[in-house]
Structure 1
């Protein structure tokens, strides 16, 4: 059988200031040392790390006293820690680790920590794990110095608890105690729930009678609610489908808006073009006006010159005509004078008046000479006038030619101005046309956009109307659309006459108004009371079911504990008798069960203890129950002994040595029967003589086959039985541990000095 305990690690614990590690590679390990060296602190460390809560059992006044308190040469420690490492290959501990380390650490502020494999754990959970491994502080796995007869001095119930822990029944006992606590709490909860139900029931009946009067209203409200759901589902469906094109139009609206923006921008650009076209450079305008004035002036001059030329040409023609006429007129007039003379001559001939003729001819000739002279002067004047007129005409024609040249020049410039103006006018007209086209497009698109906006607004008004009606009916739009999406989607498949539904809703609202409002506080109170009553009823049923399960579990655990305890007790009884006879060379010893009644007083307990129960300082074990009476019929342990050749009536009649031997016999009987994984004994062999020491050592070697033993001793025979010896010494207030040979251990114990093995 492999060794279960591998090591004990201590640091800052009591007199062990430095970290020390004790290895336990064999079945029996003895720890020896002079009195006061601190070797019993090793046993205290075992008990402490296994969850001991009693300061008395580890010989301290308060929890912080386990921390090294310092010496003149060494400062005090800030914490105390101890750790036990076990081989768990046989799964003695119910955890999935091949090695288990149990650790405890306490700080000076009183904070205590428990850990399993460095994982912090509650003491309650640690106790459960230890119980599964037959370890704990209530059993007899760790016997402190001076407590060898602890079983004898314990109360019957404490004895039972010790045995249960040693034989591995504490796990079930803890579960049973937990089940009983839960049963008690569950029973109390059932009683509380029942009391509440009794208080609720009368008020609930009254509330239900009041609410029943409004049942018709509730039915109408329900119908109104359902109709409203159907109505609004159809209205929303109609909204979503009748205006579905608006969703498509929204895309068009975006495109239209972009087009409108573009057109407005282009119109703005065209307006800028208009401004440019309408703007005229003042210098050009002045130049054009000057050119026009020049042309007008030239036209005037041209007209004047043409008039002058015409007049001059007319005068010239007149003068030429007059010259011709004058010449002809003079010849004709001379001919007439000549004819007149001839006539006169003929007349004279006929009259034969020659003298008269001569005179007349002479007069005619004189007259002709005078006429010719006069007309020659006049003709000369006319010719001179004609010549002057011709000269003036030539000058006028020359000036006219100059005017015409200038007029052509200015006309060309004006034509250019006019051409530019025509082109600008054309551009302006083109811009006007473009502007009108853009404005037409803009009006068209704005009209389309306005149509979309109008439809949007119409949809919004329609939706707002539905929202308002829904709000009046107590519905929230968003919640309704989400919760009633299926109703909305299937509205088309369940057509309704909207007008009829509206009329029915109006009638229902009118009927409800006539009926008056329900007192919602009463209804709410009734609903709340009903829910609470129903909840509590179910809770009561659940609690009753849980209580039944707990009772079944408790009964099952009790049966396991009873069966296991009875079996273990029979084995203990047999071994107790055998060990007793071996130690006392005869006699008889036995253990039995007793029932401790509820009315049993402290005095009765004390009397019973005198007959075979607890005595002395360990009566404190009974007082730990804080004066509470024991549960009626609770199981306890009694035992009796009969020494060879000596009659005794009670344990009080035994001598100190006999009590020690009886306690050892009982201890070994329990150990042999229970086979705990670990046994720690602190000088329980101190009172034995040599013969009994040898018997003790022989029994120790026998149980070592099944139980790993750590013995704190001064006894030679026990030291001889040990496979490993550790020596403990005190130097300057600090405990130190050394590995020893057997001869060194004898000298070490006998002479109270240290022999360190190098």
Structure 2
């Protein structure tokens, strides 16, 4: 019975299992369709991705080619810019940056058109040609000239200071010279007035500056009034009177600063006997009152008779000169003793 029961139940179990298998097959078909749908969709996406990848590869190749072309253009521009820089340095001697500063070109402002720049360049080239050749040493020469100018200015300052000191020294010398000149003028004028009266036996004479405001630049005038005559200028006197007046002035200057020896060369030549006597008397008085020794060169017999010692040159034989010396004072004493 148990087996029969099992056999009776088997169709039912088979039916149940069949239904389960049918359900499982249906579910697997659904799953298969879902998987196939997903696979198909995935394949479509993969195809689209491959297409997009191929497009991107083509675009990448184009970009690489564009990069190569751009790099070539940049290299060409760099070479052109280098050549332009070299030309600027060669022709103008300055860098492009210095040229931009000189021409006041600002990068943020647009440049003029190429046509305008070419016209300006042509105009500048024509102006340069009219100016002639460019002196490449101009900057160095300008520096040398500037250095020379600075040295000249320095020398000018030193010269100005030296001139100021020199003028100060000149003013001091002029002041001292004016004082000394006026002092010497006073002494000489006093001696001149006394000697004139002594030589002429009277009268009046004096010295006067032509411009008393500036004695150093002024001349000196001699005014003389002989006994019995009116006061007049030296040029209006006779030759002998002028000679005596000149002797008065000469001895006046000599007495202001006497020397040990005084040599007079034929000063008595224009004088007559009376004036020679006065001249000799004056020389004798000056010789006695001072330590000065007078050496007189003369041809006048009166002068030779008044000296202490006489020196002469004779020619006893032709071509042979002989010096003769005579002590007149001792000769007079010998004659008196005899």
Q: TM-score, normalised by structure 1?
A: 0.23
Higher relative contact order (CA 8 A, sep 6+): 1
Q: TM-score, normalised by structure 2?
A: 0.49
- Higher-Rg structure is 1
